[in-house]
Structure 1
Amino acid sequence: MRIISFCADSIVDAAKKGFFDWVTKQDADIICIQNIGIAEYKLRDDVYFPRDYNPYFFDAADGKHNGVAIYCRNLPKAIMTGLGFLDFDMDGLYIQADFDNISIGSLLAPTADEGDSAGLIRKNQFFEQYLNHLTKVRNKRRDFIICGNWNIAHRAIDIQDVRGNHGKPGSLAEEQQWLDRLFREQHYADAFRLVNNDADEFSWWPDGEPGSNGWRVDMQITSEHITPRVEYGAIYKVQQFGKHAPLIMDYDFELPESPF
């Protein structure tokens, strides 16, 4: 099973830069996209609806910001939108495709600007609620792969300019400790780091130019029974579709064929 996740920061701009031309040639079973930046009904071009995939969108309430999507080659049994968090679901941050015994999620975590104390509090509230949610779903005897822009760099190795970004949201100790708890207490894992420990692997460049100030905030996080099935991971940087680069992960796992 191949899953590609990508934070578009405008699916329209990414499409103009050739994202769909590229991604539809990658033999992916699932494509997760975050920060769509436009309501689904405004996407009129066929490029957004590749014929080999079943696309599902979850728009933010304003139809302009955020928004997530998941493209499935095989029909899922169900699609879930939102996480049941009243303060966040209107922002269009999460969509999930359920198959027989595995769920694939497309997540856009909240962000906070430097000096934005209210935004940081809100971001921390989201992650606390999300940790409780992931704790509960562990008991459902189903596996999970949550793909997306987590807006956290887990370790110093995931930030190109550690000193220059010290104290900035996304690199704060309490944020990194949240991921530590997720991995240690709930036995989830950062799939990419299971197969690649290189220090120069970044997926986001806030300045828009790869080569400086890189961060690795785009992750596919797996539940414990999927961890030994991770086979391959790469961040695609040959072409630039936006400030983020697509993350490609391969798993030794077969999704069930569509019944239709």
Structure 2
Amino acid sequence: MMARRLISWNVNGLRAFQKNGGFTWFLQERPDIFCLQETKAQPQQLDESLTAIDGYHVYFASAERKGYSGVALYTREEPKHVAYGFGVERFDNEGRTLVAEYEHFTLLNVYFPNGKSSEERLQYKMDFYEAFLPFLDEITSQGKNVILCGDVNTAHKAIDLARPKENETVSGFLPEERAWLDKLITHGYVDTFRMFHPEPDYYTWWSFRARARERNVGWRIDYFFVNDAFKDHVTNAFILPKVMGADHCPLGIEVDV
């Protein structure tokens, strides 16, 4: 058995993240797999200190629009195959998905859309959700194990945000958004963090306003899911709220394969 440590982090702009010391943390920790969301950069805009890391294979899926969205993957082990997007152009051109196939699992690093800015973006988010799940199911139907990580942009249950009552009509905690997470679970995917931590007050994102992070008034909107058949390979799941560098914090799992 080989133990692997995977970290996911919405960095809210890779260049700002580097300035804020988040990348230094990564270079000290050196996880086996590091998944970033909301990089807001295309590789050609970045210097080599972010794109050529000794001991890592590096992949970027970038939005056509500069300074927007984007995901990145830093991995010690070279994947057998990497796909950019999941085959739907209106979603793939925002650079939201990287799919990396390894020997024992397929990793999906996803930055799901945010629905807060307008009705149109909420609809786009719901359309993304509905298109993504069959893609995920297609992978598991082939007998492959999956690890899905990233910023899902929705808190699943009341325990997953500090102010559930006040946010019932806010995108990120709407009934239809939460229902999709219910559906994901009924399709046989497991929220790894809740396997180990059923208790409240664990969040992954805090507003920059009103000292929210200091007061731990947050939302748990970043996740690691695995298919049910793979869950026994997950030996730990964790959130690291004290690690600074962005408005989100890193979260991770450890797997034995």
Alignment partner of 2:58: what SS?
strand
Name whichever of 130-139 and 207-216 sits farther off.
Answer: 207-216
C-alpha distance 250-63 of structure 1, shift in aligned 2 (>3 A): same
Which residue is 2:181 aligned to?
Answer: 179
Matched to 2:194, the amino acid is: R
Q: Residue 225 of structure 1 aligns to a residue in which SS?
A: helix
| Counterpart residue number, 1:216 | 220
Q: Partner amino acid for 1:230?
A: V
Q: Where does 1:92-241 land on structure 2 (aligned, <5 Å)?
A: 92-113=95-116, 116-184=118-186, 186-207=187-208, 209-210=212-213, 211-241=215-245
The answer to whether the 8 Å contact 2:22/2:246 transfers is: no
Please tell me whether the aligned partners of residues 2 and 27 of structure 1 are also in contact (alpha carbons under 8 angstroms).
no
Alignment of 1:10-159 (within 5 A): 10-113=13-116, 116-159=118-161
Shift of the alpha carbon at 1:136? 1.9
* Distance in structure 2 (CA, Å) of the matches to 1:249 and 1:2: 6
The secondary structure found in structure 1 opposite 2:232 is helix
| Residue deviations 1:60-119 (CA, integer Å, cap 9, x gap) | 0123200101111011111110011122110000011111231111100011116x2221
Cα shift at 1:47: 4.4
Q: Is the 8 A contact 2:43 2:51 kept in 1?
A: no
Query: What is the CA distance between 1:15 and its match in structure 2?
Result: 1.0
Q: 2:247 aligns to what SS in structure 1?
A: coil
Q: Are 1:145 and 1:223, in contact at CA under 8 Å, matched by a contact in 2?
A: yes
1:53 Cα deviation after fit? 0.9
Partners of 1:160 and 1:71 in 2: CA distance: 32
Secondary structure of 1:164's aligned partner: helix
> Contact conserved, 1:207 with 1:213, CA < 8 A, in 2?
no
User: Structure 1-normalised TM-score?
Assistant: 0.92
Determine the C-alpha separation between the residues in 1 that align with 2:167 and 2:216.
12
The alpha-carbon deviation at position 51 of structure 1 amounts to 0.6
Task: Write the letter of the residue equivalent to 1:15.
Answer: Q
**CA RMSD of superposed structures (Å):** 1.4
Q: Which amino acid aligns with 1:164?
A: E
Contact 1:58 1:92 in 2 (8 A): yes
| TM-score, L = length of structure 2 | 0.93
Work out the CA distance in 2 between the residues paired with 1:139 and 1:239.
37
Tell me the distance in 2 between the aligned counterparts of 1:155 and 1:84.
30
For the Cα contact (< 8 Å) 1:152–1:176, is it kept in 2?
Answer: yes
Task: Return the alpha-carbon distance in structure 2 between the equivalents of residues 100 and 239 of structure 1.
Answer: 31
- For residue 237 of structure 1, report the CA deviation from its aligned partner: 2.0
| Structure 1: unaligned runs, 5 residues or longer | 254-260
1:256 aligned residue: none
Give the Cα separation in 2 of the matches to 1:248 and 1:149: 12
